[in-house]
Amino acid sequence: MTANRRIDPTERAHLRDAAGYSPPIHRFAPTPGLAGLVRRYWMPVWALPEGTRSVQRVLQYPVCLVVVSDSYALLVGPSSGLSTQELVGSGWAVGTMLQPAAGSLVWGQPVDTLADRAVPLTDARGLDGAGLVTAIHDCVGEDPHDADGQQRAVAAVEAALAPLLPVDEEGLLVNAVVEFVEGDSGVQRVSQVCEKFAIGERTLQRMTQRRIGLSPKWLIQRRRLHEAAERLAGDVRPDLARVAADLGYADQAHFGRDFRTVTGLTPGEYAAEPRPR
């Protein structure tokens, strides 16, 4: 049953649009048995006035996404930069944020062949993409706001992913590596990851390339930027030099370059944007 797994996490990776808008998003945790494959599910439902559009911006995590909407179905690889999605009119999507271990299992190939790409879900070798699309559309039906339909859609995704269990040993390791880097702001160097897991840097590099399509150094940088986005989005404008120092940057200029390279905005510009409404 999924009825008791509705969650409302603080999503620091979701930068919203430049006007501060984000559609209502329903979020769900996976069942315990699927936790090695799935981080969470989310379902945005939107209705924008005619002639308007909203470009949602996301500092993506080092994972693949399965996204089935009312008009498309994609397997989305990890993005080294900023992911964007334009919303117009009315619509909905059922998204699945996979665990790092799951990308190669769903894709059927090393994830570095999918990085910075999105492919039709029917190209994924690890699940029945066409069958999943049909099941989700049947569950959502005519009313994407219906709570029971949302729960059934999540259950359909879980049924499609269940045959990929159990997670392999390397998959469990890459899940643990990413969890360690994302969960400990004291991790500033790749050597700390190697020491924690008693693994050589070259071996770690090859594993992350296969399983998440990105480097260990990227994991650390992205964690920093997630933390920065969260702090910059607060009600009180933070001291940018303090943020840079707290995140382990040598100076504010280096922090500003990293943030602007990925988001297209300086930290000050992002901090000055309207907050969610």
Residue tagged 């066409």 (tokens) = 130
Q: What is the pLDDT of residue 275?
A: 64
Distance of CA 223 to CAs 43, 91, 100, Å? 24, 31, 15
Per-residue pLDDT of the chain (277 residues; tens, 9 = 90+): 444 476 666 565 666 676 777 788 899 999 999 999 999 999 999 988 888 888 888 788 899 999 999 999 999 999 988 888 888 889 999 999 999 999 999 999 999 999 999 999 999 999 999 999 999 999 999 999 999 999 999 999 999 999 999 999 999 999 999 999 999 989 999 999 999 999 999 999 999 999 999 999 999 999 998 888 888 877 778 889 988 888 888 889 999 998 888 888 888 888 887 765 5
Give the amino acid at 18.
Answer: A
Q: What is the pLDDT of residue 39?
A: 96
Distance of CA 51 to CAs 72, 84, 87, 173, 217, Å? 21, 19, 11, 47, 42
Q: What is the pLDDT of residue 2?
A: 45
pTM: 0.89
The size of the chain, in residues, is: 277
Q: What is the pLDDT of residue 169?
A: 97
CATH fold for the domain made of 169-272 = Arc Repressor Mutant, subunit A (1.10.10)
Q: What is the pLDDT of residue 237?
A: 80
Q: What is the pLDDT of residue 215?
A: 95
Q: Where are the domains of the chain?
A: 6-164, 169-272
- Give which of 84, 75, 28, 80 is closest to 57, Cα–Cα: 84
Q: What is the pLDDT of residue 214?
A: 94
